[in-house]
Amino acid sequence: MSRTARRAAARRRMHLLAGATVLGVLLILGILAVQLMGGPKDPSSDPAGFGGTDTDTVVITSTDPSPSTDSETDTSTDSSSASQTDTDTESDDPSTNTYTDTDTNSDSSDHSDYNTDDPTPGINDDGSFDFTAWNMILVNPDNPIPDDYPLKLSWVSLNGKDRQVNSLCAQAFRDMVNAAKEDGVILLLRSTYRGIELQTEGFNNKVQEYINQGYSKEKATEIAATVVAVPGTSEHHTGLAADITTPSFDRLNKDFDKTEAYQWLITHCAEYGFILRYPEDKTEITKIIYEPWHYRYVGKEAAQIIMSEGICYEEFVEKYGKQ
């Protein structure tokens, strides 16, 4: 082989080696990109937004300034500035309704008040309401969940959403969602049970957010409490509440009340023991903005009274707790 031919062959080998090196680098970069993108985000890794779920936005009644950059901060009873978009990545395709019951508290089954056989929970023998019963407990900014509240959770899988709810009202959730489906309405359970630990992490993150904006820790904590429910005061801790949407309007926004799903819920939720927890005209009483997506189990008897009289749960407790 001549010197010229040997040089040409050497150049070809160098070009091939360079090409292979470039391909190898591109392959490695591609693998790293896939790993960084990953799959659906675990809601527990997004505590500031609780996986895109409702945070029980509290009405601000003071005149103290709040950061204008925070779209979730409410300075009035108008919830339009507090609308949120649910970022849940689970499939919305309707599926066969199946479920698995899971006891998340081994001590709860020994609680004497946890009567799964009671056909009318929360009602005394004389017909009065027992507001210490598991389904009648009042949880709001002024009434945190009791430390000894018995909690046993069940997984429910409804219309493609796997959620944990209080075991004692799990069947009520199933019955309501299935009944809506028979009427051609798909209900999606977005946020149901939320533990205090996750609520605490989200609340602390919100406090830090305001500290980073220049507020003192005391002021940041005060403002954060108007945006994210203080740990222990959210109804989601009981497993009795759920944020409900529908595939055509799958976000937590006050305009949910314009959907067919909302109309079905308002008409039928009491038949299954649920109430609209935060009505539009009751924000001064509930201290929570209007949330047409938030429903809470109280039992059929109480639910029928609340929905027919157009009162909120605080008013129900005040009226019927004194009888």
Question: Who has greater pLDDT, 140 or 15?
Answer: 140
Question: What tens digit of pLDDT does each residue of 149-188 get?
Answer: 989 999 999 999 999 999 999 999 999 999 999 999 999 9
Q: Which pair of tokens denotes residue 68?
A: 């204008």
Q: At 247, which amino acid appears?
A: P
Count of the separate structural domains present in the chain: 2
60 with 73: CB under 8 angstroms? Answer: yes
Question: What tens digit of pLDDT does each residue of 289-305 get?
Answer: 899 999 999 999 999 99
As a whole number of angstroms, the distance between CA 193 and CA 177 comes to 17
Q: How many other C-beta atoms are found inside a 10 Å radius of the C-beta of residue 305? A: 17
Question: Who has greater pLDDT, 273 or 287?
Answer: 273
Range(s) of the domain holding residue 239? 43-320
**210 and 246 both lie in a single domain:** yes
**115 and 77 both lie in a single domain:** yes
Question: What tens digit of pLDDT does each residue of 23-70 get?
Answer: 665 666 665 554 444 433 333 333 334 444 444 555 444 334 333 322
**28 and 172 both lie in a single domain:** no
Closest CA to 238 of 195, 177, 300, 273: 195
141 with 123: CB under 8 angstroms? Answer: no
pTM: 0.68
CATH classification at residue 84? 3.30.1380.10
Distant-in-sequence, close-in-space partners of 92: CB < 8 Å, separation ≥ 6:
159, 160, 161, 188, 247, 250
289 with 82: CB under 8 angstroms? Answer: yes
**65 and 158 both lie in a single domain:** yes
Among 182, 271, 291, 314, the one annotated catalytic: 291
Reported as type and span, the H/E element at residue 294 is: strand 291-297
> Is 291 an active-site residue?
yes
**8 and 130 both lie in a single domain:** no
**109 and 24 both lie in a single domain:** no
**26 and 133 both lie in a single domain:** no
Q: Which residue do the tokens 């009162």 mark?
A: 311
